[in-house]
């Protein structure tokens, strides 16, 4: 995402907790800064993307977090998939400082990030979205503003709920075909063009055939997203049993040290369940 912003001509300062993780973006001209406070005080638009809601809270709202150093009139865009409640809390704190904020979780994995074709789901006041839109257009080709703070996160939860159940159906379909002795690549090629066609089978199915478990999106982060969705659903009085089933399957990854694999490694989990 940073590389795409550099290609669009933006000047970028970066901070990561582990400097080596920034090597790729430093090579394309981003400037390294030693801490988040220095970065936040310099920029007009600050973008954050970390792992978990607790990381967002620390990086943005902590005693030495970004918000404390941001200039009035600047904009905070949080691309992390996080809690809708936390997004609302950040918006309130930011507004009190005269800072704009936007929750803008993304979907599309490593492929979408590299190609600039992410789906970006936005929540915040109109001024925040209007200010952010030129940057967002460098990162994605499916961008929509859904309303107030937290609404972007809730659209992302809808996205993850759909993916969770789709992944279970996809890998069970592939396991059935595999056990029946069918050639998986041929099965994917055909059913991926019909009514069963979806992003998961057409993009992750071929990785499964190659036994490629490298993460486009980590299982551990998907588990975090499912937890947030279940918690928010409970607050709404909803009982999402399909999502709970997907979470139960994925939670087994921890038993086999697969939590750092990509979500397509659900195939290994389902194989293991059937073998036991």
∠ Cα 143 116 154 (to 5°): 35
- In degrees and rounded to multiples of 5, residue 59 shows phi and psi of -70, -35
234 carries an active-site annotation: no
Listed residue (142, 103, 144) closest to 124, CA to CA: 103
Read off the DSSP letter of residue 220.
H
Which residue is it, tokens 């299982």?
219
Return the structure tokens found at 89: 């809390």
DSSP 106-150: EESHHHHHHHT-EEEEEBS-HHHHHHHHHHHHHHEEEEEE-SSTT
Q: Which is the catalytic residue, given 71, 156, 193, 220?
A: 156
Q: How far is CA 72 from the centre of its chain?
A: 28
Active site positions, annotated: 156
């Amino acid at each position: 995402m940073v590389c795409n912003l550099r290609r669009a001509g933006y000047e970028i300062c970066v901070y990561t907790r582990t400097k080596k993780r920034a090597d790729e973006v430093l090579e394309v001209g981003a400037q390294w800064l030693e801490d988040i406070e220095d970065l936040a005080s310099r920029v007009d638009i600050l973008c954050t993307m970390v792992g978990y809601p607790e990381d967002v809270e620390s990086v943005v709202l902590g005693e030495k977090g970004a918000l404390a150093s941001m200039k009035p009139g600047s904009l905070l865009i949080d691309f992390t998939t996080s809690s809708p409640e936390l997004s609302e809390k950040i918006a309130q704190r930011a507004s009190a400082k005269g800072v704009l904020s936007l929750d803008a979780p993304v979907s599309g994995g490593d492929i979408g990030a590299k190609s600039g074709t992410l789906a970006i789901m936005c929540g915040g006041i109109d001024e925040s979205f209007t200010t952010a839109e030129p940057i967002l257009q460098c990162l994605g080709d499916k961008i929509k503003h859904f309303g107030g703070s937290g609404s972007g996160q809730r659209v992302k939860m809808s996205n993850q709920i759909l993916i969770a159940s789709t992944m279970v159906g996809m890998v069970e379909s592939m396991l059935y075909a595999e056990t029946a002795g069918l050639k998986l690549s041929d099965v994917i090629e055909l059913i991926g063009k019909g009514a069963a066609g979806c992003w998961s089978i057409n993009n992750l199915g071929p990785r499964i055939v190659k036994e490629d478990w490298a993460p486009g999106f980590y299982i551990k982060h998907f588990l975090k997203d499912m937890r947030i969705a279940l918690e928010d659903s409970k607050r709404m009085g909803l009982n999402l049993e399909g999502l709970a089933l997907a979470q139960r399957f994925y939670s087994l990854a921890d038993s086999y040290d697969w939590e750092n694999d990509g979500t397509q490694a659900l195939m290994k989990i389902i194989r293991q369940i059937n073998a036991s």
